[in-house]
Amino acid sequence: MKERLLESKLPYLVYENNTSIVGFAYLSKWKSRCSYRNSYESTIYLLQSETKKGIGYKLYKQLIEQSKYLNPHTIIGGISLPNASSVKLHEKLGYTKVANFKEVGYKFNKWIDVGYWQLIINN
């Protein structure tokens, strides 16, 4: 994670509570090909104990704001499903669901679906 942070020129935000990291959010390129140069993927992680406190909203809101220097057209967020809190967060910030892939991830000893939510920045 540290290497990714140091190598990336894209926004990477960390939320601390006292001296402990409780969450982070970052952007990555959606695809490496030139035709996708204005499309990004957003990612957020919070400690389970820190959810429902508004931290995720603050992080993502700031991430979207900091993305504007990149001239993004769209930001895409993938969500392991089910995850009502993450769906609610994305939709509160204007993301809309655009896709659902069945059993493409493996987590907690089981296959999981992943949904994709998209935020169009520039029309």
Eight-class DSSP state of 50: G
Residue 55 has pLDDT above 90, yes or no: yes
| 19 — pLDDT class (breaks 50, 70, 90) | confident
Number of domains forming the structure of the chain? 1
For residue 94, the domain's CATH number is 3.40.630.30
| Residue whose tokens read 């931290």 | 55
Distance of CA 114 to the CA centre of its chain: 13
Q: What is the pLDDT of residues 70-111, one digit of tens each?
A: 999 999 999 999 999 999 999 999 999 999 999 999 999 999
Amino acid at 117: W
Between the CA atoms of 35, 64, 90 and 42, what dihedral angle is there, to the nearest 10 degrees?
50
Dist CA 51 CA 8 (whole Å)? 26
8 A C-beta contact, residue 61 and residue 107 = no
| 9 — pLDDT class (breaks 50, 70, 90) | confident
Mean pLDDT of all residues belonging to the chain? 92
Residue 2 is predicted with a pLDDT of: 66
Buried b (16+ CB within 10 A) or exposed e, 20-49: eebbbbbbeebeeeeeeeebbbbebebeee
Query: Closest Cα partner for 64 from 50, 36, 43, 35?
Result: 43
Residue 123 is predicted with a pLDDT of: 58
Q: Print the domain residue range for 81.
A: 2-120
Q: What would the mean pLDDT of 6-20 be, rounded to a whole number?
A: 85
Residue 1 has pLDDT above 90, yes or no: no
Residue 96 is predicted with a pLDDT of: 98
